[in-house]
């Protein structure tokens, strides 16, 4: 099987797998997708917030140490 055919088969199988949930009640499908997006956004944004907070604290500590010397 060629590479293009394999890609086409994978794409079609993904569409078929997602067809049933997409055919559900539109209100339910939209509300569930919004919850999922909120969870994914939280999981993606939380590490950035932690790292940025840590960097800000480290910079403040280093700045105060440089002022003391």
For the chain, the domain total comes to 1
Q: For residue 62, is it within any domain?
A: yes
Return the pLDDT at 23: 64
24-35 pLDDT, tens digit per residue, is 666 666 677 777
Q: Are 13 and 7 spatial neighbours (Cβ–Cβ below 8 Å)?
A: no
11-65 pLDDT, tens digit per residue, is 888 777 776 666 666 666 667 777 787 888 888 899 999 999 999 999 999 999 8
Q: For residue 38, is it within any domain?
A: yes
57 Cα distance to chain centroid: 26
Q: For residue 19, is it within any domain?
A: no
Q: For residue 3, is it within any domain?
A: no
Return the pLDDT at 20: 66
Return the pLDDT at 24: 64
The pTM score is 0.47
Q: For residue 29, is it within any domain?
A: yes
Q: For residue 16, is it within any domain?
A: no
Q: For residue 31, is it within any domain?
A: yes
Q: For residue 34, is it within any domain?
A: yes
Q: Which domain holds residue 44?
A: 25-69
């Amino acid at each position: 099987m060629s590479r293009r055919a394999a890609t086409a088969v994978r794409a079609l199988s993904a569409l078929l797998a997602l067809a049933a949930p997409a055919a559900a009640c539109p209100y339910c499908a939209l509300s569930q997708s919004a919850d999922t997006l909120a969870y994914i956004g939280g999981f993606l944004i939380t590490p950035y917030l932690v790292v940025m907070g840590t960097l800000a604290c480290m910079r403040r500590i280093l700045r105060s140490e440089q002022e003391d010397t």
